[in-house]
Structure formats: C-alpha cells, structure tokens
Amino acid sequence: MKITRIISHVLSYDMPEVLGYSQQYYAKRSAHLVEVQTDEGVTGWGECFGPGNVAIANKGIVEKVIQPMVLGMDPMDRDVIWHKVYNLLRDHGQKGMPMQALSGVDIALWDIAGKVANLPLHKLIGGAHRDDVPCYGYGMMLRDEPVAELAARFEDEAAAIKDMGFAATKMKVGFGPKPDVKLCEAVRRGVGDEFRFMVDANHCYTTSDAFYVGRALDELDAYWFEEPIAPEDLDGYRELRAGLRVNISGGEAEFNRWGWRNILENRGLDIAQPEVCALGGISEYLRVLALCHAHFTPVINHVWGSAIAVATNLQLLAAMPPLPGGMHPWEPMLEFDTTDNKFRDELLAEPLDIQGQVKANKGRVRIPTGPGIGVTPDMDFIKHYEIDAEGRG
C-alpha cells in the first residue's frame, strides 16, 4: 500500500454569537481536517489543532511540506513516517504549527491502520480498559459585557450544563483576578456545593495573580485550575502546585516527548492535558502518556475541535491504563465543548450525539467500535463549509 495524496480541508462558518477566552474573542468556528489517500482505496482521517488563520497556515505545511516527504511510502509505517518528517523539520519546527500539521497526518495514518486491520483504534493500541467514559461539559465562555451581567449568565449556564447530565463542568476566566473570582463564585452557585467544576485561564495570569485566584478556588472547592500562567513558566507551575490545594492542570500548549519530559520532571502539574491534534499525533501521544504515567501524573486529554478530534480522543481514553489501579481507580474524562459547533455535531455520516448519550447514560459516553477512529465524515458537508487558502468558501 502506498500514500498517493494528502488533502487538507479547512472548514469555517460564522458563529451565532461572538465568544471569547482570555486571549481573544472569535466570531468564526473553524476546523482543519486531514485526508490521507492510498493506492488501495483506503482513506484515513485526522485533525490538526489550531483555529482560523492557524488552520489556513497549517494547510500549506500539510500539503506543501509534509506531503512531498511521504508520497509513495507505506501508510502502515507510521513510526518511520513520523520520525522522517520530524527529523526533516527539526531545524524549523520542533514545536508549534509544524507539529500540529504532523499530528493530523499521523492520526489519519492510524485511522488507515485500523481500517486495514478492521479493528477500532483502541484495539490496535492494546485494548479497552473501559467501554465508556464520563464526560464534562465545557461552557461559560467570555462575552464582551459587564462582569455582573456575565456572572448571572454564567450561573444560569452552569446550572443548565449540570441539568444536561454532564459529570462536571468547566468555565473560562480572563478579566482579571477580582472579577474572575466573582465569575467563579457564580458558577459554584449555579452547580451547587457538591458538583465538580473546573476553571480555565488560558495562561492569562502572573504567578501572584494566579495565587490570588487559586486561593479563592481552594475555598470554592474547584477541581482543577487549568493553564493559570504561561506554559513556559515551569517554576511558576511548581510554586502554584506546592502552594494551592486545587489541582493544577495544563500541557495543551506543549509538544512532543521532549517538551513533556521537561514539564513532568519539574513536578508542576497535578493533571496533565496533552492535545493529540497538536503534540505530534497518536504516535507521539502514546509516548507522552507513557511519560506521564512514569511520573505518576494522571491524564485528562485536552479536546477542542471537530467530531474527528472527539472520536480520536474517545479511542485514546478507552485505551488509557488506570492510574494507579485498583477496584475503583481514578478515571479520565472526555472534554466536551457545549457551545455551537457544527463541525462536531453535523460532520459525520452517523453523528456521535455526545449530549444525547450523556443524558441517557448518566454523564457517560460510549467508545466507538468501528474500524480506525470509528467514524466517517460526510463529504457533502465538508464541501459546503470548506474554504481556500485565502479564506474564501
């Protein structure tokens, strides 16, 4: 079998409302899908992490840089392909967009392998440790409105996510320490005293400001404090972990095993959050997962993207060994963005229907059992939302 073509599909549409996180507001939803074709008619699908203009830039890396390196190679030689591409890009892209581009290609190669073997991805990895996973609902995105109004909105939205049946919920912060604490208090009111909630700062604080917010989260009994400071500030992460009770989480902005080695050896995380569509794909994710578990650091995957990303992560969560083990081991969760996303809800020929599963199965989602990542995109849907390198549909 030989690789004959690699196609990037960048999708975009105008969202019904402008949403934001601590770094920016955004009005468009985007996704970057990668299609790897072979001479035997077997096609694999992957996804590259990165919104908007990042996705458009990564399209060029996938098609103009990586594709010429691997045309004619056997797609089953995933590790050979990964190291060939990484070594040739090492001088130009040990992190960032080149790794995101390689991620999408690598995921597609694993999808091909599953289809050739007629096995779901988790079987190729080594089997399923669980048939379903708890799912937490991500919401409470920032809006450009007064904090008092946003706090009331957050309280209602958090209560609604809980009522949908999700196992936990997560919110955004980013207006500054004092207003952010008010938003956190509103979410705690919305979900009540016992329900698990998490806070995502997208690295917007200094260490001192993160301590201010973190102490409030200690009092509110938040489950984790995600990316409180810049990902480069490893010493700051270690200080926060030592000084706060709330779990410190992060890692979505880190790439490959070498970057993750530095994070883990620094002992600054209670929970690791690798992003498979960014760090180097499934091949590198499995190496990072092994590093995390070697450091006895539990993993809850970062998930942000289309149904391809969701399905890929479901397969990985099924195959994740329990840590540390026992009759009632610590469990990972699936991250699910509850805001409007056609590329998650309408992309597939047979939708995953995550929200329906959550409601029917007490907050849990089943692992797809079809070959590869277990899902098939609708090509007519892709053609409808696809844009070119200039952002035109």
Among all residues, which ones are annotated catalytic? 302
What does the DSSP 8-state code read for residue 41?
A: S
Give the Å distances, CA to CA, from 145 to 71, 179, 180, 187, 206. Answer: 50, 12, 13, 17, 24
Burial annotation 111-147 (CB, 10 A radius, 16+ → b, else e): bbbbbbeebbbbbbbeebbbebbbbbbbbbbbbeeeb
Pair of tokens at residue 213: 């917010």
What's the token pair of residue 284? 């590198």
Q: How far apart are CA 176 and CA 180, in angstroms?
A: 6
CA distance 267 to 239: 10
| Tokens at 276, concatenated | 């498979």
- The 3-state DSSP class for residue 21 equals strand
Q: Tokens 């805001």 correspond to what residue?
A: 339
Peptide bond preceding 324 in cis form (omega within 30 of 0)? yes
Positive or negative, the Cα torsion across 62, 347, 380, 392?
negative
